[in-house]
Chain A
Amino acid sequence: MIGNDIVDLQLAKTQSNWQRRGWLQKICTKQEQQYIFTSGKAEVQLWQFWSMKEAAYKAHQRRFNLSRRYNPKNFQCTPKGEVYVDDYSYKTFTEIQNEYVYSIAMTSNEDYHSSVYDKTMNACSKLKETISEKLNIDSSLIHFTKNSNGIPLVHIDQKVIQLPLSLTHHGTYSAFVVSI
């Protein structure tokens, strides 16, 4: 299973005051907080951990079809890119640019396709194009919906197919990942 999350760093600056009293303590474990403050790049490190947690949350939720919860602190990140939750672990890969931080989380090493887009492109329609190309299906037959837990489903010609995928957007940026 797979999940992704993107943080627009410019928007995050105005949207979140992460240095607010109590903020970090609600989201990060003691070890994560310590790592953030000794990393020499606290802000980027925080958003890296945040996107790892969000991406792993999505992969975990999809894997077990869990109802939605707001529990970022339960997803414990290591500096090596692992995320632990309960008895499970996820591998993550993070891309750090000046403009954004983007993480992908997965249960094991899977083949995946992922792209990040700015305002001019839409990750959702690009995802459709990618599925269309890879499965050799006309893109007009592909539709996305969500189940009652908010998990995205792919329909091809009215039938639901099992395709691990995740979409994310924040501010100027959007991205998709699909295991195909």
Chain B
Amino acid sequence: MTKEELLSKLKTIITPYVQNEEGLTTLTEDTDFIKDLEINSANLVDVVLDVEDEFDIEIDNESMEKMLTVKASIAVIEDKLASK
């Protein structure tokens, strides 16, 4: 899976939880889920669960800790896909 495909899938996953739509139109790897997209912190769990379902991977606590930005989330997904 290319990085573009991964980013596009991640964008689809986070969209329902985004409270700042503007942040979504300018989404980059540096986008922060809470600061830029205003995703409620309790909804970050949903993002993690949706990522698990979409990519058929398991995200442990250590990896979940990092999933506050697009970049970090992509790194976690790539890592888990590689070790599948």
| Pair A69/B42 contact, Cβ less than 8 Å | no
Q: How many residues of A contact B (CB 8 A)?
A: 21
Q: 0/1 per residue, B34-45, Cβ < 8 Å to A? A: 010000111111
Please report the C-alpha to C-alpha distance between residue A150 and residue B45 in the assembled complex, in whole angstroms: 20
| Pair A20/B46 contact, Cβ less than 8 Å | yes
Please report the C-alpha to C-alpha distance between residue A92 and residue B40 in the assembled complex, in whole angstroms: 22
Please report the C-alpha to C-alpha distance between residue A170 and residue B42 in the assembled complex, in whole angstroms: 11
Please report the C-alpha to C-alpha distance between residue A23 and residue B43 in the assembled complex, in whole angstroms: 10
Please report the C-alpha to C-alpha distance between residue A7 and residue B40 in the assembled complex, in whole angstroms: 11
Q: How many residues of B contact A (CB 8 A)?
A: 17
Query: Could you list 27 A-B pairs, sorted by A, with CB under 8 Å?
Result: A7-B42, A15-B40, A15-B42, A15-B43, A16-B40, A16-B42, A16-B46, A20-B46, A20-B49, A22-B49, A23-B49, A26-B45, A26-B48, A26-B49, A26-B64, A27-B45, A54-B41, A68-B68, A69-B65, A69-B66, A70-B44, A70-B64, A70-B68, A71-B61, A71-B65, A74-B61, A150-B35
Footprint of A on B, CB under 8 Å?
A: 35, 40-46, 48-49, 52, 61, 64-68
Footprint of B on A, CB under 8 Å?
A: 7, 12, 15-17, 20-23, 26-27, 50, 54, 68-71, 73-74, 150, 170
